[in-house]
Structure 1
């Protein structure tokens, strides 16, 4: 009977190990109530010349986090990246107006650290972000 659960436990362990080794994570908190913002769509892009190349797209979990936003089979290279939080869609789902339909956060990967974390503190008419750890 225990054999039935081995594949699931192996999958969970593998997913957790990947999240710990992933070079990019994000976290969204609602400043109005201090709670995590679940189901916020987040798009990751990399600058390539005069345009952006989409690398990944995910939704925040129940804890407002995406622990492994960077694509699994790629290596994080130095360059300019953009994480876009689709805040307008999130506020619309919660029957609220917002001034910012999306929040683009453009940042530079210089290779000085192995993990980049981008938190977003969100309210309908303002936001704040910083380089987390």
Structure 2
């Protein structure tokens, strides 16, 4: 009886993990201010998808207190293969700090082939430079 009980718990845990993996949003972002070493809250970020020669906005959100947006992709649609662009409105962050910046807006274009994976785009930010990469 004990064996059946523990087996049931393991199956429930596995099912829960699978549900979370399927339900998780396929795209997240994070901004870290390298000058202060702190997360960058309050920055508007938009997601766009390339359609022909034009860009169509899919979503927009604002970074939280940890500088993150955990669910950037629209929740009512599965991610499609194609070209995307994340646009970080970093000028508003530096305007709040009353600090000059060379990059008031940072567009990051990327291509998605595997729609069953999670894509994380971190932005390492300073007033006169930035770096990004595909995280997980």
- Judge same fold: TM > 0.5, yes or no: yes
Task: Give 2:35's aligned residue.
Answer: 32
Report the alpha carbon displacement of residue 112 of structure 1 after superposing the two structures with TM. Answer: 6.3
- Alpha-carbon deviations, 1:80-121, whole Å to 9, x = none? 000000011111111111000100000000116510000000
1:112–1:55 distance in 2 versus 1, CA, 3 Å: closer
Q: Aligned-pair RMSD on alpha carbons? A: 1.5
Question: Can you give the 5+ residue segments of structure 2 that lack an aligned partner in the other structure?
Answer: 1-19
CA distance in 2, matches of 1:113, 1:28: 24
Q: Are residues 1:74 and 2:77 paired?
A: yes
Question: Can you give the 5+ residue segments of structure 1 that lack an aligned partner in the other structure?
Answer: 1-16
CA distance in 1, matches of 2:56, 2:25: 19
Task: Give 2:119's aligned residue.
Answer: 116
Q: What is the TM-score when the length of structure 2 is the normalising length?
A: 0.82
- DSSP-derived class of the 2:39 partner: coil
How many residues matched? 116
CA distance in 1, matches of 2:46, 2:130: 17
- DSSP-derived class of the 1:74 partner: coil
